Structure 1
Amino acid sequence: MPIPNGVKPQAWHLLAIFVATIAGFVLQPLSIGAVSIIACTMLVVLGVLTPSEALAGFSNGTIWLIVSAFMFAEGFIKTGLGKRIAYVLLSRFGGSTLNVAYVLSVADFIVAPFTPSNTARGGGIIYPIVRSICSAIGSEPDSEKNKRTGAFLIFSSYCAVITSACIFLTGASNNVLVVTLSKEMFGVDVSWLAWFAACIVPGLILSVATPWVLYKLINPELKETPETKVMAKKELEEMGSMSLAEKMLCGIFLCALVLWATSSIHGIDSAFVALLGLSAMLITKIIDWADVLNQKGAWDVLVWMGVLVNMAAFLSKLGLMTWFAGTVGQQMEGTSWLFMLVVLAIVYTYVHYGLASNSAHIMALFGAFATILVAAGAPVLGVLILFGALANSCSLLTHYGCGVTPIFFGSNYMPQGQWWRIGFIITTLHLFVWLCIGLPWMKVLGLF
């Protein structure tokens, strides 16, 4: 294609490789890690970037934050602390079906800051618990007995995993991708505390509203579930008292949380707070080096995120995003940035019907949409966090929305048509809350 006026040949060639990489992410002829390695190699072979430029993304501290947080997830699963938290809450508050949904949401909320993989948190901690609860109350996918109750608990738990991903920067790996792109493309640092402060109010509203809405939509047969309390108490008895490893992990967990929240005081980078936590887990032998090596998801994220973030950064440095924003801005001249924000947020959310990866969604659309809005005068930090949160919310649309979705959908409590219908309703609820409550709240914080 001819190079547009105002665009450097190097930027245009980089865009070609970038678009091909995103296409590979969406179509997945190979794993995304393999696609990324090929893309990184071609950047140098085709003379688009130098070797040091092509590999620069692997020195990004924020990416190492997410790698370290994956190791926290391994600690929660290996020690059983994640399950213990959930069972303690269920043994005390799990007397009704709606209460069970709220308890599982609270359990996920507690664990989410240290489990950036939705698949690890949802599939490794929350799903096994909710599936056991379904069996305890006599709800099985191959039987009509209490099937709506099982469907409610499964879908509500899935929604809790996605909502927690919105609230915490370290609640999903794609959030860190947003933060890294924000730094590389706009020169804006999004701290853990800033993300949390911006998302906690709309996130808590969604955490409270979603189970209630699902309760009305699905109408579970069972309203009271005393079996859940009995099952949770039995599981706790089998687990016994807290192990030394669990107690130490609690201490490390709380220390890391405090250090992240007070980074502006002590000045330690968030990535190195996470690495400090990982070091503590290794020293105390909560996990060992073999566990670190076995965290394939963490190293996979390091590879593809290091390559993609670096390409996006160079697209910005070479002026392509500025050119794109100016071109689109000319077409929308005279339109307020707030109107543009609402329209683009709607498009950004529902376009996920055509995507099966939150990270691919962000790489394809986040930079372009954010650039347009910033060029139109929208506040940078508010736009970045809002579109970061919406990249999680859109996962609810389909049964392939993100990596953890097939685990919950695969329980077979809900047919695909019903999953899509309810997913559309809950996604629309998310969009409404983020735009109508999230934006005013961010304005109170000074982000808008």
Structure 2
Amino acid sequence: MPHPSCARRWAMPKKAKQADLKKLAICVGLGAAIWAIPAPAGVGLPAWRLLGIFLGTIAGIITQPLPLGAVAMMGLGAAQLTGILTFQAAFSAFANEIPWLIAIAFWLSGGFIRSGLGARIAYSIVSVFGKTTLGLTYSLTLAEALLAPAIPSVAARAGGLFLPLAKALCLACGSDPANGTEGKMGSYLMMTCFLSTTISSAMFITAMAANPLAVNLAAETLGYTISWGTWALSALAPGLVCLLLTPALMYVLYPPQVKDTPDAPAKAKEELKRLGPMSRDEKITAFALGLTVCLWIGGQSLGINAVAAALAGLSILLVTNVVTWEQCLSDNQAWDTLTWFAALIAMAAYLNKYGFISWFSDKVVGMVGGLGLSWQAAFGVVTALYFYSHYFFASGAAHIGAMYTAFVSVSIACGTPGIVAALALGQLSNVMGCLTTYGIGSAPPYYGTGYVPQAKWYQFGFIFSVIYLVVWVGVGSAWWKVLGLY
């Protein structure tokens, strides 16, 4: 049998949250203030007014005067009531692959936990690495990094495979936000595992779906294509340093209450013995998830996308009654995440279509180019601006498509070697996902577990963004010099 609390989020609806009118007024006021300011020269009125609505919605996502999905719906409603977006434009991202992949990953994780397979795997890991929470965390983060080049969707890799495992580990060790025990292990583990996904995604072209887009855009600028090996080798040193630093630094900054568990391996072995042979539901779940992962790895060659692969696995669980559709419908976290994430993607996409992002990029290019800095200093400024502009984006692909070429071009114009600019900005297009709860596909599912408060999420996202930038620019530059890239 799985841990008693494993099925709680499927069975116990949360108490409805009352609207915080003060916070809501601040968010509306922010949007209205931007709306009232005349648009800068070169920015169309629809783009400027959509920016006001977008920033007001982001403020609502951060302060949470209402549940996240409700805030997002209000933002889309405001955009339509004011005529800034049509219905088709406002809801266009609900046809986007990533929000649905995240929602399906939640449902798959329900089967993983409810069947007992999650508890069995969790106890198996604890029996080997369970003497310390730090050891458990390193085993998960390094395992995720090893699978990263084979699974090109970070949302699928995190939400469909490692999040269920991390959740099961937390529950097996008595750490559950429903009981107020998230600090025992889960808060530290979830935040660390999420941050590590942004690093593993940066290390390989095939670790994140948008990386090939960066390679294609770089080829147009440089005149040659960055190979898989060049990308991986150049990211090896900064990536490994970040992967090794993250669990240790988070252990100091956000320490788990339970650090040493010397009796855990023995107890885990006792639990495994009590579980006995794998049940029918566990075997079916293992097969369904195994098939899903295989399709994530090799499906592109067969014309099967990541959502279709996830639906294949979910269909098996539904047909065999391991998971019921009623349970999927009652999974509020999945539907809430689908709603607010898709809404932000839509608004961010139309900020780009309306020309705000290209205007912003041009302003940055002109500003940096006129400073007269050395190429190293200029590239540092360009990198920081590119990185932190990700607060405006709910998708790495959207950010790359809108700003990557312009920022690579201005870096080259300031004297930065082309290959260095292309690789660094391409890799950091993944790392910058650490900033928010919406900036990369792995963020919504990990945040949605409820183990890490939003304020802590943004706090640690910013702290580690600085650390990662320093490592990527510092260690990375030295490593690229050794490799002869400049």
Residue identity matched to 1:376: F
CA contact (8 A) 1:69 1:116 kept: yes
Query: Matches of 1:322 and 1:124 in 2, distance apart?
Result: 41
Query: Matches of 1:256 and 1:18 in 2, distance apart?
Result: 35
Query: Matches of 1:421 and 1:52 in 2, distance apart?
Result: 35
Query: Matches of 2:431 and 2:282 in 1, distance apart?
Result: 31
| Aligned match of 1:146 | none
Superposition deviation, residue 56 in structure 1:
1.8
- The reply on whether 1:127 has 2:158 as its aligned counterpart is no
Query: Matches of 1:246 and 1:15 in 2, distance apart?
Result: 48
1:44-66 alpha-carbon deviations (Å, 9 max, x no partner): 22112222222222122222111
CA contact (8 A) 2:285 2:317 kept: yes
- The reply on whether 1:60 has 2:91 as its aligned counterpart is no
| Aligned match of 1:291 | 327
| Aligned match of 2:178 | none
Superposition deviation, residue 255 in structure 1:
1.8
Query: Matches of 1:66 and 1:46 in 2, distance apart?
Result: 30
Superposition deviation, residue 237 in structure 1:
2.3
Pair 1:160–1:10, CA change in 2 (3 A): closer
User: What is the count of residue pairs matched by the alignment?
Assistant: 398
Counterparts of residues 31-430 of structure 1 (less than 5 Å): 31-95=67-131, 99-103=135-139, 113=156, 116=159, 121=164, 124-131=167-174, 157-158=189-190, 160-166=192-198, 206-211=242-247, 226-333=262-369, 339=377, 342-343=380-381, 362-363=393-394, 371=402, 374-377=405-408, 383=425, 386-392=428-434, 403=447, 407=451, 429-430=467-468
| Aligned match of 1:147 | none
Q: SS state of the match for residue 46, structure 2? A: helix
CA contact (8 A) 1:340 1:373 kept: no
CA contact (8 A) 2:108 2:160 kept: no
Pair 1:79–1:33, CA change in 2 (3 A): same
Q: SS state of the match for residue 5, structure 1? A: coil
Question: CA RMSD of the aligned region, Å?
Answer: 5.2
Query: Matches of 2:51 and 2:140 in 1, distance apart?
Result: 43
Range that drifts further, 208-217 or 45-54: 208-217
Q: SS state of the match for residue 277, structure 2? A: coil
Query: Matches of 1:283 and 1:102 in 2, distance apart?
Result: 36
Superposition deviation, residue 300 in structure 1:
0.9
Superposition deviation, residue 262 in structure 1:
2.0
Q: SS state of the match for residue 6, structure 1? A: coil
CA contact (8 A) 2:434 2:461 kept: no
Q: SS state of the match for residue 39, structure 2? A: coil
CA contact (8 A) 1:98 1:212 kept: yes
Matched residues, percent identical?
A: 32
Given the two structures, how large is their TM-score scaled by the length of structure 1?
Answer: 0.68
| Aligned match of 1:398 | none
CA contact (8 A) 1:71 1:278 kept: yes
| Aligned match of 2:53 | 17
Pair 1:202–1:265, CA change in 2 (3 A): farther
Superposition deviation, residue 211 in structure 1:
4.7
Residue identity matched to 1:383: L
Residue identity matched to 2:356: L
Given the two structures, how large is their TM-score scaled by the length of structure 2?
Answer: 0.63
Range that drifts further, 78-87 or 94-103: 94-103
Query: Matches of 2:408 and 2:116 in 1, distance apart?
Result: 48
Superposition deviation, residue 210 in structure 1:
4.3
Query: Matches of 1:230 and 1:393 in 2, distance apart?
Result: 39
Residue identity matched to 1:317: K
Extract unaligned runs of 5+ from structure 2. Answer: 1-36, 148-153, 176-180, 202-206, 220-227, 410-420, 438-443
1:315-341 alpha-carbon deviations (Å, 9 max, x no partner): 111212111111222111156887566
Superposition deviation, residue 266 in structure 1:
0.8
Residue identity matched to 1:65: L
CA contact (8 A) 2:431 2:468 kept: no
| Aligned match of 2:14 | none
